[in-house]
């Protein structure tokens, strides 16, 4: 399934200590279902001094769960993402926006899975 939140998306935090704050996703880990948002969910990390860096107590953005983030639409409000397949193209659209045509998030051409036989997947 395609990712609903990607690197570079503008998001708003729904729960936690940074609730209501907005930011940009800097990295996503789909296996762990987490994302790092710039400037949010900050924690102090103690680092050792090296030849290139001073060391000490440095703030670092920590990963947060994708379920705690919501995508921002063109109006700056939190929205949910839905997928629609038309003529073999899969496009993501905002779900709770009345004017869905204005809120086209991304237009991606993906191959729609046709009816695969078990032999194609190596099963008998």
pLDDT digits (tens, 9 = 90+) for 48-66: 999 998 989 999 999 999 9
Task: Indicate whether 85 belongs to any domain.
Answer: yes
Q: How far apart are CA 69 and CA 53, in angstroms?
A: 33
Tell me the pLDDT tens digit for each residue of 57-105: 999 999 999 999 998 887 788 888 777 777 777 666 666 555 544 444 4
Domain that holds residue 65: 10-47+57-121
Q: Is residue 91 part of a domain?
A: yes
Q: What share of the chain is helix, strand, coil (3-state, %, to 5)?
A: 5, 45, 50
- C-beta separation of 31 from 39 below 8 A: no
- The domain total for the chain is 1
5 lies in some domain: no
Q: Is residue 4 part of a domain?
A: no
- CA distances 32 to 9, 27, 74, 81, 84, Å, are 18, 12, 29, 20, 26
What is the chain's mean pLDDT, rounded? Answer: 77
Residue 112: pLDDT band with limits 50, 70, 90:
very low
Within-domain flag for 116: yes
């Amino acid at each position: 399934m395609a990712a609903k939140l990607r690197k570079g998306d503008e998001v708003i935090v729904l729960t936690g200590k940074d609730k209501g704050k907005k930011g940009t996703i800097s990295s996503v880990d789909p296996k762990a279902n987490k994302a790092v948002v710039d400037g949010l969910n900050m924690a102090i990390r103690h680092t050792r001094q090296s030849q290139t860096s001073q060391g000490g107590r440095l703030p670092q953005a920590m990963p947060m769960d994708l379920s705690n983030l919501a995508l921002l639409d063109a109006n700056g409000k939190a929205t949910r993402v839905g997928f629609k397949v038309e003529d073999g193209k899969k496009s993501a659209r905002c779900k709770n926006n009345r004017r869905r045509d204005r809120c086209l998030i991304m237009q991606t051409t993906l191959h729609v899975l046709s009816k695969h036989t078990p032999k194609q997947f190596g099963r008998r």
